[in-house]
Structures are given as structure tokens and as C-alpha cells.
Amino acid sequence: MAVVPTIVVLCGALSKERDVSLRSGEACAKALEGTFPGLVREVLEENKLPGWLDAARHVVFPVIHGAYGEDGGIQAELEAGGFAFAGSDAAASRLCIQKVEAKRKFLSASVPVAPEFVFSAEGKPRACEIISQLGTPDVVFKVANGGSSIGLHFAQNEEEIADALAAITDGEWMVEPRLKGREMTIGILGDEAMGIVEIIPLGGHYDYGNKYTPGAVRYLYPAELSETLRARIAGDALRAYGACACRDFSRLDFILSEEGQPTFLEINTMPGMTATSLFPKSAGCCGVDFQDLCERMLAPAIARFSGARLNDGHHPNS
């Protein structure tokens, strides 16, 4: 008789994105509990798997953002324990949270990206060096190995760049030219590109504060684009997703210039799943509601669990 797994939604953990993870995890658990009786939502208070997890009985949905959740940490633990779990594997997760390395993979797949200046807090450059390399003082600072909106800081001149540098005390950073155009994102579910969402902040920038404040941002989904451009963007996104060896789901952010040129910024292997999150909006463009989205995000992991049970010795994530 086939083993029916118990679904375990993991959220929380210790990172700058813990609060968002808690909200994402709660939303996903509520959406799935009707379909999967006995579902467990576990809030992690440390960056470590619960000892009671059993690979022979549990399928894991790690709804954890940023450090530990997207840097390959939890994925490596799950793989070592033989667990079937939703989302990209450890190698792809480690790659994608390293924004510069992911952009190199994008380029290898002929997906356009912005130039960048990379530095560590211990070896900060001078403002004039950044301007010289990027060719403009109008730039955006980003954490090089964190979530898409953590640590964002905008500067428009040499003085503001110097101020931003002075405020950096640790970590790896990157600076990119601030691209002019429409800010957008597209979700990938399985091997299909979903809808394109346009992001319009009603004040300031699309930073962490505005991103998670209801009413601070206007969203157009689907974005108003020609079918030709929509298909081109979807093709670019799928190539980037494939080049990074992602699986199950991801979200890619990009800027669309006035001339209709998309420039891809990064890929998110565990996109937000809150009431204001972009990934559910991308799915909504295709008629996929939140419950259906969660079920489809989880389905490949359940299939890997079943395959492993049918073939003893088969690793559920291979």
C-alpha cells in the first residue's frame, strides 16, 4: 500500500526576513490544510531542522526566505536526511542567492543583465571608483547574497554614494546603475512562465518597507504589454531559470526600458507568499488561485516522495 505523506510547512527561522516567512508559512498552511489532512505548520526558532521530521513519512514545504531558507542551508540538510521537499535543490539555491553568480548564469543563457560593482564591507571602494566603473552616479546598492529587497539603498550623486558606503559595516555588496523603466516580475511554476506583474510604488522606491505595506504599491497584473514582448520576456525568464538549474518554482525580477528592452536583475527561489506578494499575483494572471498555486508548488515534492517509496534506495531529490 502506498504511503500517504504528511505535509510539513516550515517557516520562521532566523534571518532578516523571518516576519515575512511567518506570514508566508501561515498563508500556505491555511491554503493546503483542507487538501492535506494532518498538515503540520512548524515555526523554526533556530536554523535547524526539527528532530522529529521523518523522511519516510513527511514531505517538507520550506517557506523560508533569505538566509537559511534560500541560501542552500535548509536544502542541504533536507537532502542529507533523504527528504522530499518543495523548491530548488541546495546547489541551485546557493547559486541564486548569490546575485552576481546568478547574473553570470543569465548571461550564459543570453539573458540581458545590468553591469555591477562588487565589494565587501572590509574593502569598500571610494565613491569615484563606483562612478568610474558604472559610468553614472545614479545607482542602487544591494546586498549581494540576500533577498531581493533587503538592504536596498539608492544614490544619485557622489555625496550620496559616499554616505551609503559609510553606512555599510558588514557583508558582501553590489552596486548597479539605477535602470530607468517599468519595474516588473514574472513567476515560473514547473516549466511554465506565468503572468507578468508591473510594480508601481506610490511613493519612494519599491523597498522592503513599501513592499510589505498594504496600499503602498500599485500592481498591474497582467502588465500591459504586447504579446510579442510578453513572449520574449517569458522566454528570457525560462532560459535564466534553466541556466540556474532551478526546479518547481521561482520568481524573476526585471526592468523594462522605454524602448522595450528587459534587463533581468535576479531570481528568487522562495518567493514571498503573503497577501501583498508578487508570486501569487503572477499566478493570478493565469487564473491560478492561491490554493491551487500552493498545491502546484508542492506537487513535484509529493511525486518525488512517491517515486522514492516505489523504488527503495532512490533519493527523493534526484
C-alpha angle 213/272/95, rounded to 5°?
130
* Set 21, 93, 148, 277: catalytic member: 148
Classify burial at 204, counting beta carbons within 10 Å of its beta carbon; exposed 0-12, middle 13-18, buried 19 or more.
exposed
Classify burial at 311, counting beta carbons within 10 Å of its beta carbon; exposed 0-12, middle 13-18, buried 19 or more.
exposed
The rounded distance, in Å, linking the Cα atoms of 200 and 223 is 11
* Set 24, 71, 253, 304: catalytic member: 253
Catalytic-residue membership of 148: yes
The rounded distance, in Å, linking the Cα atoms of 106 and 102 is 6
* Phi and psi, residue 198, nearest 5°: -95, 135
* Set 251, 277, 282, 284: catalytic member: 251
C-alpha angle 14/265/281, rounded to 5°?
70
Instruction: Give, in order, the Cα–Cα distances in Å from 74 to each of 61, 225, 289, 294, 318.
Output: 11, 38, 28, 20, 17
The rounded distance, in Å, linking the Cα atoms of 317 and 55 is 12
* Set 12, 17, 147, 198: catalytic member: 17
* Set 21, 145, 268, 282: catalytic member: 268
Neighbours of 1 (CB within 10 A): 3
Catalytic-residue membership of 132: no
* Set 212, 248, 277, 282: catalytic member: 212
Q: Which of 6, 21, 8 is nearest to 69 (CA)?
A: 21
SS (H, E, C) 104-139: HHHHHCCCCECCCEEEEHHHCCCHHHHHHHHCCCCE
Catalytic-residue membership of 17: yes
Instruction: Scan for cell 535543490, then name that residue.
Output: 89
The rounded distance, in Å, linking the Cα atoms of 260 and 278 is 21
Catalytic-residue membership of 212: yes
* Set 221, 272, 284, 304: catalytic member: 272
Distance of CA 31 to the CA centre of its chain: 20
* Set 266, 277, 282, 284: catalytic member: 266
Catalytic-residue membership of 268: yes
The rounded distance, in Å, linking the Cα atoms of 130 and 137 is 8
Q: Are 100 and 72 in contact (CB under 8 A)?
A: no
List active site positions.
17, 148, 212, 251, 253, 266, 268, 272
